[in-house]
Amino acid sequence: MPFTAGGADDEGSPIYGVKIPAGYREWQVVSVAHEAGDIPDIRATLGNPVAMKAFRDGTLPFPDGAIIARLAWDFVPSEENNKAFGRSQSFVAGSPKEGVQFMVKDSRKYASTDGWGFAQFFDGKPADEAALKGCFSCHEPAKARDFVFTRYAP
């Protein structure tokens, strides 16, 4: 199964010890977004079944076991689509970029960060401790939604 990433022997993230959840690419989509700027991307936020149920039910805080994944790809103009549309308007997902990020809810294990553990992986390798130190503080503005920026897109 080429789309199943991670496994028991993989290296976990620093600080939080989060491993790549097996099969995360098969999870349902919470929403999508575009980050413009110097290195534009297009991204999708996926959730495991526990997270998706919470998003749909509006349950806050997210229950233990919820995992949220952020995938991102290069933001690439599509000449092919533009031809079909008859004008230049279309941007699609290119190569994966910026790694994949996870938020894992475990209210005991991650009590000091309001129950969330964070991780980022590049080609299966965890980002270093410096990269993870800002995760929790950066999510602080979304505290009212249990530190999750992404809203469910119906």
Site residues for a second copy per CB under 8 A: 2-3, 25-29, 31-37, 42-44, 46, 52, 56, 71, 73, 75, 78, 80-81, 83-85, 87, 89-93, 96, 138-139, 141-142, 149-151, 153-154
CA distances from 72 to 9, 60, 62 (A): 25, 26, 23
Cβ 43 to a second copy shortest distance, Å: 7
Nearer to a second copy by C-beta: 32 or 107?
A: 32
Which of 33/127 has CB closer to a second copy?
Answer: 33
In angstroms, what is the minimal distance from the CB of 102 to a second copy?
16
Backbone φ and ψ for 82, nearest 5 degrees, come out as: -60, -40
CA dist 50 → 57, 60, 146 (Å): 11, 12, 15
Shortest spacing between CB 31 and a second copy, in angstroms:
5
- In terms of CB distance, is 15 or 69 closer to a second copy? 69
Query: What tokens were used for 105?
Result: 């809810």
Tokens of 97: 């970029």
Closer to a second copy by CB, 95 or 112: give it: 95
Q: Phi/psi at 58 (nearest 5 deg)?
A: 70, 30
Q: How far is the CB of 68 from a second copy (least distance, A)?
A: 14
| Distance separating alpha carbons of residues 47 and 26, to the nearest angstrom | 9
